[in-house]
Amino acid sequence: MRILHLGFEDPRMPGAGGGSVRTHETNRRLAASGFRVTVLTTRYPGWQERIQDGVHYVPVGFGEGRTRLTRLLGYVVRLPFEARKRRAATDLVVEDFFAPFSTMAAPLWTTKPTLGVVQWLHARDKARQYKLPLHWMERFGVRRHRRAIAVSQGISDRLTALNPDLHVDVIGNGVDPAAWKPAPTVGRDILCLGRLEFTGKGLDLLLEAWAQCCGLIDGRLLIAGTGPDEARLRAAIDEAGLSSSVRLVGWLSGDAKFNALSDARLVVVPSRQETFGLVAIEALAVGTPVIAFDIPCLREIVPPGAGWLVDAFDVGALAKALAERYSQDGLDLAGQQGRAFAAGYDWDRLAALQGEAYRAAERR
């Protein structure tokens, strides 16, 4: 089958999120099994059309895509033209939903069977942020789709609330096999890893909680990642007087990322919203317990015994959990339970399920 994947974000772009990881890990396995996959992504400085692991990447847009706005506008304007140009060589179009309005209602203009892959569904939050009716666009686009893949049951429920006639397959994200390389340890520091988005990823809440509990914790708070709010985060750390106990370690990937997750005593995921929570499941895979807010999606992948959920956005509760769990006995046993749970998130199995969903969508 020939797949045209409207993938938005290139996995090689600095600061790329978990969605691009899922796109590549799935597509490279499908390519190895005989699918022909082309992925259209935004442009970014240093972009390059290439074939990577059997997957053809084509960045589309205008110029170098030096800012988030120019990347978005270039992609949105060029995408329908680029898709139509390739329709004769396409059996199925796969539309990844993306910020800020989720979907471009691709079934209206692809002229091919089209399936949505939904890892992001937060247009209402972006509407409040930008004072634009982006959630109306999201609702319109979701109602144009007839089949979709959601990365969690929480996202599936929200999709069917918008479009009761939508057929949704729930297929989660997988764990990179490299996560199993490091030997589990009970480390000294607490790690937060992900895109540096100050409010969406809850970094403001994390700093408030850390200010309350850092005197009770021997280790430091390590924050790994890059993103649009890095300068704001650095300023907030300085203003809160936390420079001696908080360290930004930059972007981590591959073995360096999994070694950092394994070396941590705890991994904290303070997000206000998540579509799946790839960092959480990767932390469990290396044997490090997770503390997170009790929100949809995260509660699906942080099981009792392998991590702890605290009342959503309760800074005091987060501070208390960090201090108490840091010093408790049995973190190694929690790590073992986490590894056993994460073993169910195997990329090979998940990619096979996605291939079956593609075949079903192409037949309809």
User: Model-level pTM?
Assistant: 0.82
Tell me the residue range of the domain where 314 lies.
177-342
150 and 34 inside one domain: yes
The CATH number that applies at residue 30 is 3.40.50.2000
Total domains in the chain come to: 2
28 and 150 inside one domain: yes
Long-range (24+ apart) CB contacts under 8 A made by 238-247 are 240/207, 240/211, 241/211, 242/207, 242/210, 242/211, 242/214, 245/210, 245/214, 245/220, 245/221, 246/207, 246/210, 246/220, 246/221, 246/222, 247/220, 247/221, 247/222, 247/223
119 and 218 inside one domain: no
Peptide bond into 80 cis (omega under 30): no
Q: Which amino acid is at 111?
A: T
Please compute Rg for the chain using Cα positions. Answer: 20
157 and 208 inside one domain: no
353 and 334 inside one domain: no
306 and 218 inside one domain: yes
Nearest to 83 by CA among 164, 161, 187, 3: 3
14 and 158 inside one domain: yes
User: Parallel, antiparallel, or unpaired: how do β-strands 55-60 and 50-52 relate?
Assistant: antiparallel
pLDDT of the chain along its 364 residues, tens only?
999 999 999 999 987 877 898 999 999 999 999 999 999 999 999 999 999 999 999 999 999 999 999 999 999 999 999 999 999 999 999 999 999 999 999 999 999 999 999 998 889 988 998 999 999 999 999 999 999 999 999 899 999 999 999 999 999 999 988 999 999 999 999 999 998 999 989 999 999 999 999 999 999 999 999 988 999 999 999 999 999 999 999 999 889 999 999 999 999 999 998 888 889 999 999 999 999 999 988 999 999 999 999 999 999 999 999 999 999 999 999 999 999 999 999 999 999 999 999 999 998 7
Q: In which residue are the tokens 């978005």 written?
A: 72
pLDDT for the residue 129: 85
213 and 358 inside one domain: no
331 and 207 inside one domain: yes
